[in-house]
Structure 1
Amino acid sequence: MSRNKLARFEHNRLSPNVLEPGKALFESIKGNWHRDYFQNANPIVVEIGCGRGEYTVGLARHFPHLNFIGIDKKGDRIAQGSMRALEGGLTNVAFLRTDVFRLLEFFSNDEIQEIWITFPDPQPRVSQVKNRLTGPRFLPLYQQVLSQGGTLHLKTDHSDFFEYSIQTLSAYGFQDMVATDDLYASEMNNLHLGIKTKYEEIFTRKGFSIKYLKCKKAG
């Protein structure tokens, strides 16, 4: 293991904005995010598969009246987001180190107002479809933790995955869907707020259009 990874794991162990196995809040936070972590009643926004936390931290800067939680299973990735948040003095950010399929272990029903899924692995092979973050394995989890009328956002460069997501979200009862095949050329361009993940930077430099959708849990 590289020295950088070891340093990041040590950062996570000591950092107040990282919840991971071995920390008390990791075991008791479900249903208690407002009281025990954020210590306010502001709405909670979660980024699924947050990677290095660019989007979680970027949104937190723009919306100080909201609480943001980035979820990823890779500790060396979320350490980078944690460092950015701490360096920026952001108190409305947390990072949760866990697998997405364990979502119900950390959030109660209706506890989240918004979910962002930014540039997930499209899992292009037939054998991988079951692992898509907008597939039947995960959508019931999102529905359970989202509040009534809560919003789900998706950004991707992958056309097949985007079309698949539109179909599955509709099939699972998400409503009021708005979608575009080219975010930066659309009227919704202002929604990205200038925030780009590492992969978004790579894809846009290569000339790929960025697809975006938002939809709501049925009220």
Structure 2
Amino acid sequence: MDAYADRVGRSVLLELISTETDPRKGGPKKSRKSRLVGWFEKRDVKAELVVYTAGFTVDAAFGEPGAVTVLNRHQREFFIESILVEGFPSGPAHFTCNSWVQPTRVDPAPRVFFTNKPYLPSKTPPGLRELRRRELKELRGSGTGVRKTTHRAYDYDVYNDLGNPDKGAGFERPVLGGDKLPYPRRMRTARPSTVTGKSLSLLLLPLFSSP
């Protein structure tokens, strides 16, 4: 399905982001959006790793690549292991991704991947500062709403679903990850609270089931 969608123009788009800002526009310098090449041609390839290509058009004063955005206009998610950008005076730019990219029907915003070159917060190049800030905000999460399998937020919560106090006092369990017992912690699920206590989450699925 995605191969034929790619064929009719619903392709994966990439955009290269510079570490430098554009003084005329105020934001980072960007390449023209480029289509990922080879998806339809390699639709029948059965391999653990498939290599695709793309060509970027940039201004002569583009500077050093610092990030790349990926917009998945296919119907399904796909996994990116890494991206290699060559042809710049600064040398090859390596992007270690190891991440699933959701289609635009799930997440309309493009995914952003940064080069492997590390920066201290105070030393982050001006072209990457706003992208870094937005990425950090997304990964931290808002602390509200129900988590979905496609969410990337590292939203932590306490273990407050180990017991089932609604069944009686004998089913109460301590909350782990709070002030008294700081560890361990778990990912936030936003499940509804128990009837007995607002600070306890309702366990929706049994840990064990009899045959």
Alignment TM-score, normalising by the size of structure 2:
0.24
Answer 1 or 2: which has greater helix percent: 1
Alignment TM-score, normalising by the size of structure 1:
0.24
